[in-house]
Amino acid sequence: MHCTHFHENLFAYHEGSLSDEMHQSLKDHLSSCDACVRLSAEFENLSNLIDKERVSEPSPFVKTRILQRIESEFEHPETRKIPVFVRILQPALIASALLAGILIGSYSAKTGHASDDQLLSKTDHIEFLKTDLYISEMMDEDKILVLNK
């Protein structure tokens, strides 16, 4: 028997699903082939690993974590399913509103300032108004004095 014959029947040999005759013939081969003995041992190790994985248990806290995740999903559904266009559009709109505010502000700052001449004439105008008021008050006082007389 050749090694390849053993290689081709590795699974079946270890599962014990071969005929008695075939099983015995592979066993005989193993008694005279070190390489196949090593391969058989490695394969046995892998089978044991599968058994080990089969009995692995999840963490005892995992149930709480799953339930918390479900609760948060249904208490705050908006956190999960915000449409893409809202997620992009909302900050874009806020950003453009801010930009527009800055532009309007800087434009009005440029055009809204009066020139020095205009300021002077405004001051003069106020002074004239004050003088008019003073004169009219004086005239009223004179009228009162005349009436009193």
Partner 1 sequence: MTEQELIQGVLRRDRNAFQYLVNQYQKQVIKTAYYFLGNMEDAEDLSQEIFLDIIHSMKSFKKSSALSTWIYRITVNKSLNQVKKNRRKGISVRLESIFNNPFEKGRRQDAEPSVISAEYEEKEKRDLLHTAINRLPENQRIAFVLNKFDEQPYKQIAEIMGVGLSAVESLIYRAKMNLQKHLVHQFSEYQNT
**Quick one: how far is CA 76 from the chain centroid?**
15
**Whether the Cβ atoms of residue 26 and residue 18 lie closer than 8 Å to each other:** yes
Residue 95 CB, shortest distance to partner 1, in Å, is 33
Inter-CA distances, 60 with 50, 65, 90, Å: 22, 10, 42
Site string for partner 1, 63-82 (x = CB under 8 A): x-xxx-xxx-xx--------
Q: Residue 5 interacts with partner 1 (CB under 8 A)?
A: no
Enter the tokens of residue 15.
């599962």
How far is residue 91's CA from residue 101's CA, in Å, rounded to a whole number? Answer: 15
Q: How far is CA 84 from CA 75, 78, 95, 144, in A?
A: 21, 12, 17, 80
**For partner 1, which residue of 19, 20, 31, 53 counts as binding (CB under 8 A)?**
53
Stretch that binds partner 1, among 24-32, 60-68, 101-109, 141-149 (CB under 8 A): 60-68
Residue 100 touches partner 1, criterion: CB under 8 A? no
CB of 41 to partner 1, least distance (A): 10
Amino acid symbol at 131: T
Told to check if 43 binds partner 1 by CB under 8 A, we report yes
Which one of the spans 44-52, 86-94, 98-106, 123-131 is the region binding partner 1 (CB under 8 A)? 44-52
Interaction of residue 11 with partner 1, rule CB under 8 A:
yes
